[in-house]
Amino acid sequence: MEKLYIRFKSPIAVILLLILIGGAYSYTSMKTSLFPNVTFPKIKIIADNGEQPVDKMMVTVTKPLENAIKQVENLRMIQSTTSMGSCEISAFMDWGSNIYHDQQQVESRIAQIKSSLPPGVKITVEKMNPSILPVMGYSLQSSTKNPIELKMIAEYTVKPFLSRIEGVSAVDVIGGKTKEYRIVLDRQKMELLKISPQDVANALQQTDFIQSNGYTIDYRRLYLTVTDATLRTINELKNLTLFNNTGRQIKVSDIAHVEVAAQTEYVKIKADGKDVPLIAVVKQPNSNLIDVASQVTKQVDILNKILPKGVKLVPYYNQAEFVKNSIKSIMDVLWIGLLLAIVIAIIFLRSIKASSVILITIPLTLSLTFLVLYAIGFDFNIMTIGAIAAAIGLIIDDAIIVVEQLHRTHEQFPERKTKDLIGKSIQYLFPAMVSSSLSTIVILIPFELMSGVAGAYFTILTKTMIVTLVCSFFITWIGLPVIYLLLSRNKPKSETAIHYHAKSYRWMSFFVGKPYLSFGIIAILIAAIVFSVPKLKSGFLPDMDEGSIVLDYNSPPGTSLEETNRMLNEVDKILEKTPEVKAYSRRTGTQMGFFITEPNTGDYLIQLHNHRTKTTVEVSDEIRKQIEHTIPALTVDFGQVITDMLGDLMSSVQPIQIKIFGNDHNKLMSLSKQVADSIQTVPGTADVFDGIVIAGPMLSVIPNEAKLEQYGMTAAYLQEQIQTYINGTVIGTIPEKEQLTNIRMIFPLNNQTPIDQYKQMKICTPTGVYLPLSQFASFSIQSGVTEINRENLQTMGVVTARLNGKDLGSVMKGIRSKLSQISLPPSYQIVYGGSYAQQQKSFSELLKILILGGLLVFTVVLFMFKSLKLSLTVIFISILGISGSVVALLLTKTPLNVGSYTGLIMIIGIIGENSIFTIQQFLSELKHTDTSNALVKALSVRLRPNLMTALGAIAALFPLALGIGTGAQMHQPLAIAVIGGFIIALPLLLIVLPSILKIIIKENPIVYQANK
């Protein structure tokens, strides 16, 4: 190794240059996304069976589907929600299973029982991952076009135009009005002429068709012959002949009014207060978000120029802005931290050359990291960039240790050439370099054991850190010495140059001479851990300020779409008066994502201005207060887009979820209300919801079979006519503009018919006589029926809430205390879900990871020094370093969550790394002197590098710890925990470690000298 850097200086230099070029190429070529492209083990099944009652839907659809899906391999949990006419089933699979294979199994099991399900039931199966949600949203606005025209422009101009963009998976059009032709029947004329609605339907079906007659040959050419009786215009529909008996001809226009109308839909879409269609852009799972967003933005600019006059696309959501700002923010933090660390190196080394070596080494390490990440298929996201930013302190640590060793050796022997010293310096340092690097790497390996969403994302973070640290080792081992050579003059300093000797200080001799004083420091640190940990706030995943709000709302059960819209118009006014709101859109009767939604529910997507003085949570609180004061009947729930997205992919959107299991649905509703009332009194809760979703009231028509038989009618015949009166019946289509426009036969009042008139609606008998519906049926009005929730085939009530101003741990402590006062009936139980359940599971796994990581560090040190006592000393010192982390978290009021817990684990490896260099130096000095002098000399030599590495790492992580910038909050807890550990590492390495070494080696130093 002594001659390695001299002999291969030029080839290594060329390789380093190639690494820089390759790193730059990888940096510009890597895909960019918000989070790693992780496939979540969740499959959602939605079944639609018209407007069936909840209890019938449960028996005929939900339970058979649940029983079938329960047989699928790798199934961990199954949840279902049954509503009027629809059910939503979520199948949670094991992490690590093949979700594509799991989806095929689910579809196969459903196919096996499809014949036993009600005819006409529609079943949709989707695997859930972030790519199914839109990344960009536009509203199609116009002051000259009506909603029907706008939807047609959206469907036949905007959608095809944007769909051709590379990386776009789907372009969904939401809202607007669907065009249809209506035959509005005149009952009096039909009664006079003895024409039934079925006669009109039959006439249209016998006329409106195109049918093949077969092939014919003429002059050696083959012709397909067809009979084309298709209706093509509204006039043809009006003039369609119903009867043409002798002496009279009856057309459609004689007994009905034919018009163009909007299809009745129980969905209402608005953007910025206007009834307009929304355009949602969904990207391909593996496409580059920034590139896709850039291309979509360019194409929208082009599209706005060619759309009809007065029509334009207006953006209301762009996830790429948040991602771009997040990546830029973390990169800025990375470079600022690096610059601060370089300044510290200059201050300590007082050498431009040594500092320049570090300045060149760090970009080389980052280049090699980018190259490796690109090669293994990683992309730029908030976790990978955050990992590099968090590891920058360790990268600087590695570089400083080697540079300081080279610089110190050159100071000690100024009369010798650099090329004569560099090989021996690295050879001396190499065993400790390997062991110290392994200490920081092996501590991260057990994160592979972590499961759930935290494991999915933080495993990517730790993998990225491992790649970064491995690259750092190779660059500092092979590349840094060559850089140092290239920047050195090929001649020794003058013979009169002053030889450098590490200066010893009185405090070193004082603590080495009185090693038992360090027990006081140890006691203080242990007390700090014992005192701080119970007082720490706790959470699950670190919070982020996304700059966007999801506002879910519910109007009272059974509220009409028009009344719900009137209430929401007041919410629109509140949003328009809120200065932080940039744009908003709302959906009623539907929601973002893949859900069943009642007509009285929906959501807002609110985009905030980037430059504002209030946080997203503060803006949400203000809007909540105004809504609760202005529209108290409206139930609201506030969240953030990405947080809600992660919640959708897990089992609960809200962080607080209490599940009450039992057998009696009515009793569960009562308990849910009781639990919700109790939770509302707990400080720190907001948007408490008892989970009781009530479908609107129902009017049941019970046919009188005897009466129907008397008039030659069936229940199905009766139902068809009632449907024609209320909702209308589609009896044909007219082809136009690449679509088939429905022809709907309907009566004038249709869905505005009052119940009293509903009962007296005239039913046409097969003989053409019109009689009131009340002669053929009786009626029953039922109040709203609640949705039924189940988990693993057991009925449950689900109460949810969000956090407001307090941490998850303290709020859950208050909730558990309150709920302990509730008396549950026999066989009923309360189970805590949501983020709390995820937190408890993750913390349990992280504790195992901490123990296993500590054992791995212990093993590395044991192989390095071959001494059980020294290995136990290193691991003891490293664990004490946690005290600095927990105190830092306590002082900054940072919760203990997955991010900060990861920082606690990392600090064990970091302190273990620095301990190795100190012990190595001590054992080297022990060969020439006694224990006390060896310790003082080792401390003198290691003082500067220890101060440089600690202060350099703290400076590098300090911008990240401030949490300034978009997305930086994700890694702020980790940075704070690591900085706290680095601060306490200094007294541990400079006072406690030497004192323990003095005690354990005092007895027989000769043994250690012999081993070394």
pLDDT tens across 802-855, in order? 888 888 888 999 999 999 888 888 889 999 988 888 888 888 888 899 899 889
Q: What are the residue ranges of CATH 3.30.2090.10 in the chain? A: 185-259
**CATH assignment of 1-30+351-488?**
1.20.1640.10
Give the angle subtended at the CA of 402 by the CAs of 399 and 407, to the nearest 5°.
115
Which tokens belong to 764? 């046409």
The residues with which 87 forms a beta bridge, in sequence order, are 47, 82
Distance CA 511, CA 936 (A): 10
pLDDT attached to residue 20:
92
Greatest C-alpha distance within the chain? 132
pLDDT attached to residue 965:
67
Span 134-179+265-322 CATH architecture = 2-Layer Sandwich (3.30)
pLDDT attached to residue 498:
47
What topology is assigned to 185-259 in CATH?
Answer: 3.30.2090
Angle, helices 931-962/972-987, rounded to nearest 10 degrees: 160
pLDDT attached to residue 67:
93
Domain 42-127, CATH number (from 2.60.120.1360, 3.30.70.1430, 3.20.20.140, 3.30.1380.10): 3.30.70.1430
Residue type, position 741, single letter: T
Look up tokens 């109007």; give the residue: 555
For the purposes of burial, counting CB atoms within 10 Å of the CB of 933, is it exposed (0-12), middle (13-18) or buried (19 or more)?
middle
Domain 510-539+866-1011 top-level CATH class: mainly alpha
Q: What are the residue ranges of CATH 3.30.70.1320 in the chain? A: 134-179+265-322
**Residue 287 CA from chain centroid, whole number:** 17
Q: What are the residue ranges of CATH 3.30.70.1430 in the chain? A: 42-127
Q: What are the residue ranges of CATH 1.20.1640.10 in the chain? A: 1-30+351-488, 510-539+866-1011
Pairing state between β 698-703 and 777-782:
antiparallel
Distance CA 136, CA 297 (A): 9
pLDDT attached to residue 109:
93
pLDDT attached to residue 400:
82
pLDDT attached to residue 351:
76
Of the candidates 376, 258, 342, the residue with the CA atom closest to the CA atom of residue 731: 258
pLDDT attached to residue 184:
92
Distance CA 449, CA 470 (A): 21
Q: Averaged in consecutive runs of 10 residues, what is the pLDDT profile of the chain (1012 residues)? A: 74 92 90 78 87 85 93 91 87 87 92 89 84 84 88 90 91 88 90 88 84 88 89 89 79 91 83 85 85 91 91 88 78 78 79 81 91 90 82 82 78 68 79 86 88 82 91 90 79 50 72 84 92 87 81 84 87 91 84 66 86 87 90 87 72 83 90 91 89 80 90 90 89 84 88 85 88 90 83 91 86 90 89 86 88 90 88 91 92 88 88 87 82 85 84 84 75 89 90 87 55 50
Distance CA 119, CA 100 (A): 28
| Distance separating the N- and C-terminal Cα atoms of the chain | 20
**Contact (Cβ atoms closer than 8 angstroms) between residue 659 and residue 831:** yes
Distance CA 386, CA 592 (A): 28
**Residue 998 CA from chain centroid, whole number:** 52
CA gyration radius for the chain? 36
Distance CA 671, CA 655 (A): 20
DSSP string covering 162-177, please? HHTSTTEEEEEEE-S-
- The H or E element spanning position 868 is helix 868-880
pLDDT attached to residue 673:
92
Which tokens belong to 243? 């009867």
Of the candidates 450, 375, 392, 326, the residue with the CA atom closest to the CA atom of residue 35: 326
pLDDT attached to residue 159:
92
Distance CA 450, CA 678 (A): 34
Distance CA 555, CA 776 (A): 35
Distance CA 624, CA 779 (A): 42
Of the candidates 394, 470, 402, 462, the residue with the CA atom closest to the CA atom of residue 432: 402
Which tokens belong to 800? 């949810």
Q: What is the 3-state secondary structure (H, E, C) of 180-199?
A: EEEEEECHHHHHHHCCCHHH
Give 252-302 pLDDT, tens digit per residue.
998 999 999 888 887 788 887 788 888 999 888 778 888 899 999 999 999
Distance CA 418, CA 253 (A): 103
Of the candidates 50, 183, 202, 5, the residue with the CA atom closest to the CA atom of residue 766: 202
